[in-house]
Each structure stands twice: as C-alpha cells, then as structure tokens.
C-alpha cells in the first residue's frame, strides 16, 4: 500500500492558494503571486522540504490553468465545478459559517435553514471531499497536513478516514461562536462540523477566547474533544516586510497625495478594512460624526482617512453595506465640510501602497470590529506609523487579547464611547503616544508569520 502514497511531507490546504491566473488578450496565462501569513510561513520551511499547497481554482483563469496543465511547483489547484464551489463558498462558508462565528444574523429574519440550504450543504460536503481526496493522494506516509479555516471544517474527519497515518492539523482564522449562537445551526450540521474538525490531531486558534468557545461547543454538542489537542497561535505582523515595503517609492508618492487631501497641520484618524459586515465601518463613521458634533474644537483640525475596500460584492448584503458606507461618508462631508476641509477622505479601490502610506501618517488608528478572529490592521499600523499612533481598539477583536493594555478599548456598539475614545486618542501627549506605540509594535510582532507557521508544524509533529 505504501507505493500508492504521494511524496509531499508537509501539506497546506486552503480555499485560496498562493498564486492566481488570468487569461491575457493574446490567450496566454499570467500568474500573480499572493501574500499573507501562510505564504510567508510555507516559504520558511524551505524549497527542499517536500511541501505542497492544495487550493481551489477560483477564477476562469485558474480553471484554464488547470485544464492546460500550467502550474507552479509545490501547488496543486483543484478544478471543483464552479456551481459546487459557489454553493460551498458563498452559500455555506460565507453566508452561514462566517455569519455564525461573527454573530452577524438579524435573528428575527434569519437564518432560515430550508431545502436550498440543504442543497448548498451537499455542495459544501462535495467541496471538502475533493480536498480530502487530493490530500490523501499527495501526502507521503506520516506526512503533516495543515488545513485552513471555516471553508474546510469537514476535511480533517474525511482525511482521517482515508489516511489514518497522517498527522492532521486545522487552523481557524475566524472567531468561534459560543455554544448558544452555534446552536442556531441545524443539530446534525453542528455535529458534523465539530466531528469534522475533531478528525484532526490538533486544532489551532488565534486566541484563548476562540479556543475556549470551540471546546465549550464540543462539550455541549459532540461529547467533548476526544483525543484532539488544542493550541493557540496569535498570528503577528511581519515587521521586516512591512517596514521595508512602507518606505518604497510608490508609498512615498501615495503619502504626498494623501497629505494634499488632508491639508496642512491636521491630525489623522486612519482605518483600513475590507467592506466586511463584521468590520463595523458604519458605526466607526457614526462615532467620527459624533466626535465632530460633541467636540467642535476638532472641526477643520482632523481628517478621517477611511479605506473601505470592496469585499464579497457578489452577495447583496455586502453591496448594500458598501453603499451605506459611501452614503454616510458623503453625508458627514456635506454636514461638516468647509471649502478647505473634507472631514472624511474615503477610498474604496484597493491599493496596498496607499494603505501603507496611511499607516505611516496615522495619529490614531480606529479598529472597531463587531467581532474579529485577530485583525492584523491593529497590529500593522503601530509597526509602520512614523510618529507613533494611538490605537482605538474594539474589545471584540482577537488582537485585543495581546494589545488591549496599550490600546484605548471600546465597546463596538457604543458610538458615543467610541467618539470619546477618538477624542482621548487625538488629545494624547506625543510622548505617551510614542511609548504606547512602541509597546504595541513589540506585542504585534511577537509571533511573525514564519514562526507562527513553524510553531504549529512543530506542535503537530511533536
């Protein structure tokens, strides 16, 4: 039987892979390399480690690359039928599991787990099974497999049945819902998710809070953890990369353009987010408006740089949310703006160099999610900020576990309190702000991506 095993000694499985493809006008395929903690982490184990990344073909270009047999060494892209992927990704992962773990439902109206949901759940099972089979084919005997996130909760259990010799880990990049909220899932689905996860030897979470919530769900719905071990790995910012990248020429150009938009001598409140329901951008804008109303001394002296980059625009609720962010920013500018001062500078086109420029210019970073697995922006801004920034941070962000002591903590639902926190942050003495920012940056970089990945790999093998 050993002869049928693959050669990969370390495998990563995730919905999105490290590379994507697009078909050019001349019919050729162009590849684009992604970034992020996983990419950094996998590169840390070296090119001779026998590592393989299994991911899904997400675009027409990706699917064409699979059909043509084009690909990168160390990457296997799965051409799962587009309708199956759409049901699994949008219908279940992003519209159900994401909403449960971030506690986003308007419960008088939703969820309603009907026949359509059951159809989508069957696609989610099919999607997870495709990953499990590919991993089973590619893994060497006794290999280590690190499965990523809520898209692939069933993979560990499915893979365990196919390959009991493997060491299987799973990492959750989101929060985990408390048992009372998790119980909204149909009973059989809730048990299936937990049992799928418990197929792993070891499960990783970003904070103790999320790990404890998962354990509580298992005790209530699955009879406990069984032999599965739990670990906490608080993904940190990649300081070396961020500091180097934030001083390249394109970032300097964006800084000059932003300074022109801000105006001379004004303070900045910076937020950089995807336009994701859990990020709480609307209440952040309401809090900024409250600041201008309650503290007129800040009028014409502060600008809110709000970068809200489009996310999941194929879902109507996200399109509506993006429109509300834009409407509210315009309303604040019309209500308080003057010929020489635009209170909110809103950008909705994703631009990493401009985000880094805003980080460097930040006097205050506003990070106020309703609920967030970690929130790397809260960790990145203190690392990059030129003069040192104050951090206004939601107690519901996973990052609060590590950064709360030196941040100004807010209840994300309390607009008045958040406005007061912005005033406190803007009023902070420069030397206090600088000292706090140094401590925030140290905490934010305690577990950089490569170490984060290697720690999990070592714990799984141990």
Residue 55 tokens read as 């991911």
* pLDDT-based confidence at residue 37 (cuts at 50, 70, 90): low
DSSP string, 223-253: SS-TT-EEEE------HHHHHHHTTSHHHHH
DSSP-derived 3-state class of residue 265: coil
Residues paired with residue 29 on neighbouring β-strands, in sequence order: 23
Q: Which helix (H) or strand (E) covers residue 362, if one does?
A: none
Cα 382 to chain centroid distance, Å, stands at 18
Task: List the one residue out of 246, 275, 287 whose CA is nearest residue 441.
Answer: 246
Residues paired with residue 269 on neighbouring β-strands, in sequence order: 304, 364
Average pLDDT, the chain: 94
Q: Which helix (H) or strand (E) covers residue 267, if one does?
A: strand 267-274
For residues 206 and 230, the answer to whether their CB atoms sit within 8 Å is: no
Would the pLDDT of 21 be above 70?
A: yes
The Cα 218–Cα 179 span in angstroms is 9
* pLDDT-based confidence at residue 2 (cuts at 50, 70, 90): very low
- Could you give the C-alpha distances from 46 to 41, 51, 52, 425, in angstroms and in order? 10, 9, 12, 43
The Cα 22–Cα 339 span in angstroms is 44
For residues 460 and 202, the answer to whether their CB atoms sit within 8 Å is: yes
Does the global pTM surpass 0.85?
yes
- Report the range of poorest mean pLDDT among 29-33, 66-70, 312-316: 312-316
Domains of the chain by range and CATH?
2-235+451-461 (3.40.50.2000), 239-444 (3.40.50.2000)
DSSP-derived 3-state class of residue 306: strand
Residue 6 tokens read as 């693959």
In 338-454, DSSP assigns E strands to: 344-347, 364-367, 390-394, 408-410
User: DSSP alpha helices (H): ranges in 299-364?
Assistant: 316-336, 352-361
Q: Which strands form 202-205's sheet, in the order they lie side by side?
A: 75-78, 51-56, 8-13, 139-148, 167-172, 202-205, 229-232
pLDDT at 35: 66
| Radius of gyration in angstroms for the set of CA atoms belonging to the chain, rounded to a whole number | 23
Residue 100 tokens read as 């449960």
pLDDT at 135: 98
Residue 16 tokens read as 């999105």
The Cα 456–Cα 201 span in angstroms is 12
Average pLDDT over residues 152-163: 98
* pLDDT-based confidence at residue 310 (cuts at 50, 70, 90): confident
pLDDT at 47: 63
For residues 403 and 440, the answer to whether their CB atoms sit within 8 Å is: yes
């Amino acid at each position: 039987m050993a002869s049928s095993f693959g050669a990969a000694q370390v495998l990563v499985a995730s919905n999105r892979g490290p590379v994507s493809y697009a078909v050019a006008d001349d019919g050729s395929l162009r590849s684009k390399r992604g970034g992020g903690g996983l990419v950094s982490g996998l590169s840390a184990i070296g090119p001779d480690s026998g590592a393989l990344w299994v991911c899904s073909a997400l675009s027409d270009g990706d699917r064409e690359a699979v059909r043509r047999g084009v690909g990168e060494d160390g990457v296997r892209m799965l051409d799962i039928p587009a309708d199956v992927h759409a049901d699994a990704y949008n219908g279940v992962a992003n519209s159900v599991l994401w909403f449960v773990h971030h506690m986003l439902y308007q419960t008088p109206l939703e969820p309603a787990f009907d026949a359509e949901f059951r159809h989508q759940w069957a696609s989610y099972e099919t999607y997870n099974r495709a990953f499990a089979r590919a991993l089973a084919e590619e893994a060497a005997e006794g290999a280590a497999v690190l499965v990523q996130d809520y898209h692939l909760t069933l993979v560990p259990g499915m893979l365990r049945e196919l390959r009991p010799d493997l060491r299987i880990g799973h990492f959750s990049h989101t929060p985990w819902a408390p048992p009372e909220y998790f119980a909204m899932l149909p009973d059989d689905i809730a048990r299936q998710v937990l049992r799928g996860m418990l197929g792993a030897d070891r499960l990783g979470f970003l904070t103790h809070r999320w790990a404890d919530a998962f354990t509580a769900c298992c005790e209530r719905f699955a009879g406990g953890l069984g032999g599965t071990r739990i670990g906490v790995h608080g993904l940190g910012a990649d300081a070396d990369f961020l500091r180097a990248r934030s001083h390249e020429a394109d970032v300097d150009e964006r800084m000059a353009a932003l300074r022109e938009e801000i105006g001379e001598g004004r303070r900045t409140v910076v937020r950089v987010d995807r336009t994701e329901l859990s990020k709480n951008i609307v209440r952040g804008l309401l809090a900024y408006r409250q600041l201008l109303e309650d503290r007129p001394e800040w009028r014409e002296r502060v600008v809110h740089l709000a970068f809200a980059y489009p996310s999941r625009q194929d879902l109507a609720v996200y399109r509506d949310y993006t429109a509300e962010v834009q409407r509210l920013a315009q309303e604040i500018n019309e209500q308080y703006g003057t010929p020489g001062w635009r209170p909110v500078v809103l950008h909705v086109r994703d631009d990493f160099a401009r985000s880094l420029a805003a980080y460097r210019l930040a006097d205050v970073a506003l990070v106020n999610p309703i609920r967030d697995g970690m929130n790397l922006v809260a960790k990145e801004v203190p690392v990059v900020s030129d003069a040192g920034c104050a951090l206004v941070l939601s107690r519901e962000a996973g990052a609060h576990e590590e950064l709360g002591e030196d941040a100004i903590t807010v209840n994300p639902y309390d607009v008045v309190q958040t406005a007061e926190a912005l005033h406190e942050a803007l009023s902070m003495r420069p030397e206090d702000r600088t000292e706090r920012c140094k401590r925030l940056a140290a905490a934010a970089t305690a577990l950089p991506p490569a170490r984060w990945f290697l720690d999990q790999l070592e714990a799984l093998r141990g």
